[in-house]
Amino acid sequence: MKILVGVKRVIDYNVKVRVKADNSDVDLSNTKMAINPFCEIAVEEAIRLKEAGIASEVIAVSVGTSACQEQLRTALALGADRAILVESDAAVEPLNVAKAFAKVMEQEQADLVILGKQSIDSDNNQVGQMLAALTKRPQGTFASKVDVEGQSVAVTREIDGGLRTVKLALPAIVTTDLRLNEPRFAKLPDIMKAKRKPLDTTSFADLGVKAKQHIQLDKVEAPAARQGGVKVASVDELIQKLKDEAKVI
Amino acid sequence: MSYLAPYRDMQSLMRQAHQALGLSQFSSLDDYDLDLADAIIDEANKFASQVLAPLNQVGDTVGCRLEDGQVLTPPGWKEAYQQFCEAGWLGLALPEEYGGQGLPKYIAQPVNEMWQSSNLAFVMFAALAQGGTEILQKFANDDIKDRYLSRIVSGEWTVAMALTEPNAGSDLGVLTTKALRQSDGTYQIKGQKIYITYGEHDMAENIVHLVLARTPDAPSGSRGLSLFAVPKYRVQDDGQLSEFNDIRCTGIEHKTGLHGSPTCSISYGDKDACIGELIGEENQGLKAMFILMNEARLSCGLQGVALGELAFQKSLTYAHERVQGSIAGQGRVAIIEHPDVRRMLLDMRSQTYALRALGYRIAAMIDAKENSDDHQHVSRVAQQIALLTPIFKGFATEQANLTAGSAIQVFGGMGFVEETGIAQVMRDARITTIYEGTTGIQAKDLLHRKVRLDQGAALDELLASMRTDASLAQSNADLGLLAERFEGVLNTLEKVQRHILSDQADITELDAVAVPYLMALGGICSAWQLLTSAYRAAEQQDQDKEYFGNVMLLASFYFNNQLPKFEASLHTVLQSGSEVSQYRF
């Protein structure tokens, strides 16, 4: 069984996000970048399936600039067998990414695609669903448990107020939630070996995908600075403030 | 997060060192380029901040316990050790031949800094493995190498260095532990040692003690010392462990800091059943120890950098959170808004940054030395490393103590309260100016062995490198003034050198100002490194105005606030008087 796993390069979650002076975008110049944490969970799940003898090959795929090689190498160090970079300097948009993945999935004859449910930079939560629609394959999103059984996969999904388990025929698309697993640390010898694992570069054009711009970024603003709180003297005062000032009740 | 690696600084200073020593010219380092270095420090940061840092305070508050001769390490230690070894971190710079990764020092240095910042007490075993491996590799016979080395590199066995005895501390020549030659070629070891770091613990299945001892017919003094591998459990010919080797932990010290690292008193051969294997030749023990000593001194200097960084990070976070006092027009403010607090933070940051630059440079020098074929170049670089070792060790650890003290000052009253964790940094740092040779010993080493012995030749060469870098900086309009001032300090330093090398110099008087001399050189090396960083920053300024602008400010801050103190130290040396010998205590 072949698994494709998505790897997105995003700002490191430990880094304080800065907005560009002209509010045109987030300032990513010279900022520490990392694998999107949900993608890291996807990589971990794929590697566990390989270690369990269920998967035969794990391929890490990223869409973006050549800098994404850094994150693909991390995925290789964690245990992916090879990597594919769909190189593009354009802004990474969900539909374009989904289309690229659909092509790679077809080319590679992948049986399972594991993606992060969303990325911590744009929080779209769309690629997995779009990919399922484009390929007309079943989807199991927000997975907290993944069990491959023969030609199908049982996915336990985290939904409002509980868990729902769905059984999908392979090939299928799974997107990971936070509690699916706890990603490992890469081992030092594996970081060195990752340098020698194959990393192929392709492009939207090579894949026959027309990458269109669907989204226009109008502006980015830093969150409003937090105002200092006040102490209320009584419950009545609190209710009054919630009504009149916060206007929430 | 209680610690995060200063990733940006590390990347930048790794490049500074890499370039300064021209490491890209060595094809033997092709596989270990800066991209790989970045990937490694990124991953090491995760381990340091997520696994080691959370255990640091636990180690301090719970500490080690001794129960029935068995040392129990703090909760979480054993598991972290397992993880550390499994992830391959122990083998970082250990030889590939025995299962290590053989990484160059310029990559190992930032990684080691992270371990030391995040949990110094825990990671003491790593430097012991490094030093022990080096000694066995250079001096032991093939049989010992085969049986011991791969187990040490994998972390299955740890290393302990047994030098000190109750009456032989800095003065190793007087130690009395005995080694009796036996008919089978092994030795029976008998004696008491103290201050043995990780001399006993519960993290690994065996502990290899490297013991300095004296054979019956050995000459007196340090020339009569031999070195032995003395395992806690004997190692058979096939490498398997056999019986207990009569090594007992009789106590662990209650220390000011580094509570998580067991400092053991060990009794060897109480029942005359402690067997050691000779490493190298008889009476050659000190030679092996010198290798270890230099390694340990450089590692100790890096501890100064690491603890300085930790103190700075904790202070910075606190200064942002703590609201106290007000500023006209702004009302009550976080204390980071107060100029004096900012001054303290900049003191910490500029000094730590400078010493990190120096530490990484020394690491790159070791790589240059080990990878170059040019014998002349190798011996020149080796001389420079030898000169910089006591400066880095002595100065970085002294400054770390000042930095940790400033950190407590930033915390105010809460700094004096243990719960904030900042006092731990001060307590942990306190030993660094003492172990591996006190600052006084470093200063004497510097003055006599490294400067007077070669008539200042190595120092002249260091000064020449400094002048080259200063004249480069002089070409930059923003740095011209700093470069000029730096040249002025170097001129005074040359005057000091003539004073020290003069035939009329009174040795006792010079010895009394050896530490101020070392401190002056440390400050000058720091200023040199900051000037170099500022020059590089000026060149890259367009890429990131905030970061590189800050680096340039660090340099000028250091020149204004710190360098004058070390200039004053130079004057202290010039004015060395006879008070210390004349005063009647």
Tell me: the pLDDT tens digits for B179-192? Answer: 999 999 999 999 99
Q: Nearest CA of chain B to the CA of A167: how many Å?
A: 36
Confidence of residue B70 (pLDDT cuts 50, 70, 90): very high
B38 inside 8 A of chain A by CB = yes
Beta strand pairing status for A172-176 and B206-213?
unpaired
Span A232-246, average pLDDT: 91
> Residue B137 pLDDT > 80, yes or no?
yes
- Write down the H helix ranges in B155-284: none
The residue of chain B nearest to residue A33, with distances taken between CA atoms, is B42
The answer to whether residue A249 is domain-embedded is no
pLDDT score of B577: 83
In whole angstroms, give the CA distance from residue B319 to residue B211.
47
Q: Looking at residues B226-248, what average pLDDT do you find?
A: 95
Q: Which of B436, B494, B546, B579 is catalytic?
A: B436
Backbone φ and ψ of A170, nearest 5°: -80, 150
Residue A233 belongs to some domain of the structure: yes
CATH top class, domain B158-283: mainly beta
**pLDDT value at residue B261:** 97
Residues in CB range of B183: below 8 A, 6 or more apart:
none
Q: Which residues in chain A are closer than 8 Å to B83, comparing Cβ atoms?
A: 185
Mean pLDDT over A125-138 rounds to: 97
Tell me: the pLDDT tens digits for A26-50?
A: 998 888 999 999 999 999 999 999 9
Task: Place B1 in a pLDDT band, splitting at 50, 70 and 90.
Answer: low
Q: What is the pLDDT of residue A178?
A: 95
Measuring CA to CA, which residue among B219, B210, B209 is closest to residue B173?
A: B219
**A30 CA to chain B: closest CA distance, Å?**
7
Alpha-carbon gap, residue B309 to B267, rounded angstroms: 38
Q: Average pLDDT for residues B549-571, to the nearest whole number?
A: 97
* Pairs from B544-552 (Cβ < 8 Å, separation ≥ 24): B544/A29, B544/A30, B547/A30, B547/B8, B551/B12, B551/B353, B552/B478, B552/B479
What is the model's pLDDT at position A231? 84
pLDDT mean over B75-96: 95
Taking the CA of residue A248 and the nearest CA in chain B, the distance in Å comes to: 30
Q: Across chain B, what does the average pLDDT equal?
A: 95
Q: Does A188 contact B1 at a Cβ distance shorter than 8 Å?
A: no
Q: With bands split at pLDDT 50, 70 and 90, how would you rate the model's confidence at B330?
A: confident
- The count of domains in chain A is 1
Residue A51 sits in which domain range?
2-244
Examine the pLDDT at A227 and tell me if it is beyond 80. Answer: no
Comparing CA positions, the residue from B559, B546, B568 lying closest to residue B354 is B559
Which residues of B are less than 8 Å from A188 in CB distance? 40, 43, 87-89, 91-92, 101
Using the predicted structure, report yes or no on whether residue B155 has a pLDDT greater than 80. yes
Question: Which 47-76 residues of chain A touch chain B by CB within 8 A?
Answer: 70, 73-74
Torsion angles phi and psi, residue B212, rounded to 5: -85, 125
- What is the CATH classification number for the domain harbouring A122? 3.40.50.620
User: Which of B8, B12, B38, B43 to substitute to test the interface with A, most A CBs within 10 Å?
Assistant: B43
Mean pLDDT in residue range B326-330:
88
Q: Do A188 and B544 touch (CB under 8 A)?
A: no
Residue with tokens 């017919």: B217
User: pLDDT (tens digit, 9 = 90+) per residue, B418-443?
Assistant: 999 999 999 999 999 999 999 999 99
B100 touches chain A (CB under 8 A): no
| Confidence band for A245, pLDDT divided at 50, 70 and 90 | confident
Mean local confidence (pLDDT), A212-234: 86
Residue A245 in contact with partner chain B when CB distance is under 8 A: no
Kindly state whether residue A196 falls inside one of the protein's structural domains.
yes
Q: B1, A14: Cβ pair inside 8 Å?
A: yes
The DSSP symbol for A146 reads: E
For this structure, is B436 an active site residue?
yes
Classify strands B275-279 and B187-197 as parallel, antiparallel or unpaired.
antiparallel
Put simply, whether A30 touches B (Cβ < 8 Å) is yes
pLDDT above 90 covers a percentage of chain A that reads 86
Is the predicted pLDDT of residue B358 greater than 90, yes or no? yes
Work out the pLDDT band at A235, boundaries 50, 70, 90: very high
Chain-chain contact of A187 with B47 (C-beta, under 8 angstroms): no
Average pLDDT over residues B71-99: 95
